[in-house]
Chain A
Amino acid sequence: MILERLRGTVLVLDGSMGALLQGRGLPSGYAPDLWNLERPDVIEAVQREYVKAGAQILLTNTFGSSRRRLAEYDAQGRLPEINAAAVAIARRAAGGGVLVAGDIGPCGTTVQPFGEIPFQEAHALFLEQARALIDAGVDLLVIETMFDLQEMKAAVIACNEVRGKVPLIAFMTFTQDGLTDTGTDPVTAATVLEGLGVDVVGANCSTGPEHMLPVVRALAAATRLPIAVQPNAGLPVQKDGATLFPMGPEEMAAFVPRFHDAGASIIGGCCGTTPDYIHRAARLLQGRTPAPRTAPAGLRIASRMRTLALGPGHPFRVLGEKINPTGRKKFAAALAEGRMDLVVAEARRQAEAGADGLDVNVGVPLTDEPALMGKAIAAIQNVVDLPLVIDSSYVEALEQGLVNYPGKALVNSINAEPERLEAIFPLVKKYGAAVIALCAADEIPERAADRLRNAEAILRSAEAYGVSRDNIVFDPLALVVSAMQTGSGQTLETIRLIARELGCPTSLGLSNVSFGLPQRPLINQTFLSMAIAAGLDAAIMSPYEEELKHALAAASLFAGRDPDCRRYIELQTAAESDRKAAPADDRPRTTEEKIHTAVVEGDRDSIEGLVRQALAEGSDPFRLFVEVMTPAIRHLGDLFGARKKFIPHLVAAADTMKRGVAILTPLLEASGQVSHKGTIVMATVKGDIHDIGKSVCAIMLRNFGFAVHDLGRNVPLETILAAAEEHRADIIGLSALMTTTMMQMKVVADVVKDRRLPYRVLVGGAVVTPRFATEIGAHGYSRDVGDCVQAAEALLEGRTAGLLAPA
């Protein structure tokens, strides 16, 4: 009855409570919820005003009446009492005909994987409050002002467990940019919430009506559910110690018909609104029925930040298959150690290769698969925003994946076996997921008609568990073609039958079809094209193979899945530009020329082989060092000076040359051809632990023939002086990255000057400037790796480097 009313009519919600209570003496910073017990008369008076103004739904004064929030006021022990009192007050104020909605706000902290507390803990907090409100006899439940989809999910699941047929409205809160604090857009919010089985989807708080209007439009276009809206009276402004909401009742009322036209059928107010606002809204909405809406249908899955529609009328979807340890020893070993680095790398690589979603399978024998699945799902979401397919034979692993996933997952998979249906459909329902259903039972039927019968049985079972057919994608079962050639024909026929008879989307695992045959990519491409022609909507497949991608794009043209051939042309344009970008083959021919080029281009992988090859061809080691590599890096230095090359080029070249020189050094030493230009003792000063820039400079100086003694970081004065003396240094090179530690450079410079030590002091580092170097009495300043050699050479010649000219 109430649900019918929510769906069939336009209803008016109440407005803000907090400001009205403050106007009646609620001290700033005091919990309004405690007034349910201490000042019920005041709460009731406010709510009566809203009823008088025309509100048809009253929210109970229980926004913060969950355990963690009440604990801030040491009132957690009174939770049932506070919630029950609030419901009783609202019921008294409501009289007949006005609905009482039990109000639930955020739990007071953030929820994993994004946040602090485990999902189950948040779920328990919401469950306790929802139960108290249901026990007190509310007409409906409202979850509001949720910043994070995962927290909302915990709250909805908790409410679903106790609410029976009591309807549930779920409000997310969106910022001015139309996203929640954790990056969820309205379409994704609607997709996930509809999947979870809420009765009404809404947006409240945070912004005024102008920013909320596009959010309401997006929600209405994304779900068939009724839409509710509660805007603030504009964006608040703090002035003279008070929070002011700039939008008056009349200005705000102008938005009410616009919200109605946008698709909202439950309209109220949030912060800054009063009974006057609600009265105007009620007058404007009187006699209106919900605006007509075009309801989207079909299967959609979502990550926290992105929604993916799958089925006829949408592009073919590639679900990356590479997060799977089957047949991959290194990947399996990493998982067995609990390491997620390869999972994360594979997720990134598939996303970059253009996958639309990612299948996640972490099934390694003798491991704790549920724990691994939870960890993998959390880790993947940190680096990609693609929707995920949670793939396991184990129900516990599926559930752990679902718990750590704020979006709407695709579960992989069920089949028609009663035990599997019984175990997995309740999970799909509870966590609001979609599911891949194999057209098999205890065995795979040979004939398409029998596979269809299994699909029909699965649909009947889905209905019994309350899972909508929009949440099922069938796998028509691709079989190994070398084992049974007629089987593939039956697979294609199953795709056609499911589309025609059931109207459900299909997806299959592609790569297996070619098992055991040569030229597997060719087989995969051919079968994929045929399957797309038969109506296949998605495949779990490799997103890496270029030719497969091209075959898919071309087949999509013939299947009518690429309007205006746009995706195909984009793919070909990108491929063409890659081909053009490939460098012309004007590479050097002699080995010495190749060494020169390898140094200039920072080709660290080739240099050692090239140097060995040159030596084998009879090149003189000294000549290679002095006449090939040194000119190469000097040339690079010139290009750097002309801003044609940049720091990374110098860094890569220095490292490249270092590797080449390492091969030459024993030969040069043996032949007595080593002569050092000068000796430098380098250190990061005391108290400072940054030294990567200094390490790069040290390599560059060594490449240019300096003897470099790198003392590391956080080096005290005494150690620097002792090393300088021991190695008979010409130069002390000092590095610092912090304003607090750079004064240690002055300490060293002062001692060198006061004791008349024979060293030249060269300083550098991110915070060091020519002025500072000049002021502390250093002999030279090096800006970066680009000029450190020049600076050191100048100091050896008795000149200064990089200092300010005397005034």
Chain B
Amino acid sequence: MHTVRSLGDRPVVIGSIPFSIEEKRVLRELRIPRLQKVRELPEEGVAKAIKKAIDTAYTLIHGRGCYRTLRLKGPCEDRAVAEESDTLFVGRNMARLLQRCDYATLLAATIGPELEARIESLKEAQTADAYFLDVVGSWMADYMADRVDAIVQSEVQRAGYARTMRYSPGYGDWDLPVQGELLRRLEAAAIGVSCTESFILQPRKSVTAVIGWERRA
């Protein structure tokens, strides 16, 4: 396990995640089928608006992430118990997800607050621009989570485990109130991520999740 960075006392922080915004992917997120490039759209006005959103997003996104791996003691019926906490991985779904796992990695990723601030400022007067930026931002928050996920996955594989799916608060019976503890254990304030009283992540274009380290059959 000497190559598992995230087992230390402190989370691993990724202060700046390189990214690219794939036009094809943005078109899919906008539910436009088949096209590969924005310029293939026959309506110039629409194409221009989407391209502008992508170009603007490049200047406003600052991807950051952090992750930390916890040792698990074992599953109970209604939760999985970590050495540090029996209140984090609660719910029957979570118990099932982590039942064959020795470790679980918490992760958080964000695109930062700037894109959201721009959406707010555009919302009234330039609603279409705000809408397209919103779609790009949501996809890119997932993208940042995918980048952190890929690093976690390589740690999982190096240690000889299989990974579980990535599971986020709000899925199934893993209720949103867990966000507070999850963010605290991740020290997510270091990457600027917190949550509101109603457990909505701030910045909104952020993702939190867990990945289990599963023993192979």
Which residues of A approach B to under 8 Å, CB–CB? Answer: 18, 63-64, 72, 105-106, 108-110, 112-116, 145, 147, 173, 175-176, 181, 183, 205-206, 235-239, 243-244, 271, 304, 340-342, 344-345, 348, 378, 381-383, 385, 581, 583, 598, 600-606, 646-649, 651-652, 654-656, 658, 687-693, 695-696, 699, 738-741
Contact = CB atoms under 8 A, between A and B. Distances in A.
A601 B130 contact: no
Contacts of B204: 689-690
Q: Which of B9, B119, B151 lies at the interface centre, i.e. has the most chain A CB atoms within 10 A of its CB?
A: B151
Contacts of B45: 598, 601-606, 652, 656
B9 A72 contact: yes
A109 B63 CA distance: 18
23 contacts: A116-B15, A181-B151, A206-B158, A236-B160, A237-B216, A238-B160, A238-B161, A342-B59, A382-B18, A383-B19, A581-B39, A601-B43, A602-B49, A648-B32, A648-B50, A649-B46, A651-B132, A688-B198, A689-B200, A695-B123, A699-B127, A738-B170, A738-B200
Nearest to B63: A382
B128 A651 contact: yes
Contacts of A64: 2
Contacts of A603: 43-45
A601 B134 contact: no
A500 to B, nearest CB: 41
Given A105-B2, A115-B13, A243-B159, A696 B127 contact: yes
Given A72-B9, A600-B43, 9 more contacts: A181-B154, A206-B158, A238-B159, A341-B59, A602-B46, A602-B49, A647-B31, A655-B127, A693-B131
B64 to A, nearest CB: 10
B87 interface: no
A599 B9 CA distance: 58
B128 A649 contact: no
Interface in B201-217: 204, 213, 215-216
A691 B130 CA distance: 11
Nearest to B30: A648
A661 to B, nearest CB: 13
A655 B132 contact: no
Given A72-B8, A655-B127, A656-B45, A244 B160 contact: yes
Contacts of A344: 58-59
A443 to B, nearest CB: 41
A699 to B, nearest CB: 6
A593 to B, nearest CB: 16
A110 B13 contact: yes
A507 B128 CA distance: 45
Contacts of B43: 600-603, 649, 652
A658 B3 CA distance: 57
A692 B53 CA distance: 15
B102 interface: yes
B30 A647 contact: yes
Nearest to A205: B3
B170 A385 contact: no
A381 B128 contact: no
B43 to A, nearest CB: 4
B14 A110 contact: yes
B16 interface: yes
A341 B114 CA distance: 11
Interface in B11-59: 12-20, 30-33, 39-40, 42-46, 48-50, 55, 58-59
Nearest to B200: A689
Given A383-B58, A604-B128, A652 B16 contact: no
B199 A740 contact: yes
Contacts of B17: 114, 382
Contacts of B131: 651, 692-693, 695-696
A798 to B, nearest CB: 30
B160 A114 contact: no
Contacts of A583: 42
A235 B14 CA distance: 26
Contacts of B18: 114, 183, 304, 381-383, 385
A114 B19 CA distance: 11
A672 B59 CA distance: 46
B112 to A, nearest CB: 11
B121 interface: no
Question: 4 tightest CB-CB pairs across the interface, nearest first?
Answer: A236-B160, A655-B128, A603-B45, A341-B59
B157 interface: yes
Contacts of A341: 59-60
B217 to A, nearest CB: 9
Contacts of A699: 127
A688 B200 contact: yes
B170 A692 contact: no
B114 to A, nearest CB: 9
Contacts of A116: 12-15
A652 B30 contact: no
A654 B18 CA distance: 34
A305 to B, nearest CB: 8
B165 interface: no
Contacts of A115: 13-16
B198 A692 contact: no
Contacts of A348: 55, 58
A646 B150 CA distance: 32
A800 B14 CA distance: 50
B105 to A, nearest CB: 14
Nearest to A28: B1
A331 B90 CA distance: 52
A10 to B, nearest CB: 27
B133 to A, nearest CB: 9
Contact of B8 (A108, A236, A600, A739): A108
Contacts of B9: 72
Interface string B162-202: 00000000100001100000000000000000001011100
A243 B42 CA distance: 57
A428 to B, nearest CB: 25
Contacts of A205: 3, 158
Given A238-B216, A604-B49, A740 B3 contact: no
B127 A113 contact: no
Contacts of A688: 198, 200
B207 to A, nearest CB: 14
Interface in B99-154: 102, 119, 123-124, 126-132, 134, 150-151, 154
A763 to B, nearest CB: 19
Contacts of A340: 59
A652 B62 CA distance: 27
B73 interface: no
B65 to A, nearest CB: 10
B96 interface: no
B69 to A, nearest CB: 13
A64 B5 CA distance: 12
Contact of A243 (B63, B119, B160): B160
Nearest to B16: A113
Nearest to B13: A116
A649 to B, nearest CB: 6
Contacts of A72: 8-9
Contact of A692 (B3, B8, B119, B215): B119
A110 B60 contact: no
A613 B173 CA distance: 58
Contacts of A606: 45
Contacts of B48: 605
A18 B129 CA distance: 56
A739 B216 contact: no
Most chain B C-beta atoms within 10 Å of own C-beta, residue among A72, A648, A651: A648
A712 to B, nearest CB: 10
Nearest to B21: A383
A348 B127 CA distance: 25
Contacts of B159: 236, 238, 243
A206 B160 contact: no
B155 to A, nearest CB: 8
Given A244-B160, A348-B55, A382 B134 contact: no
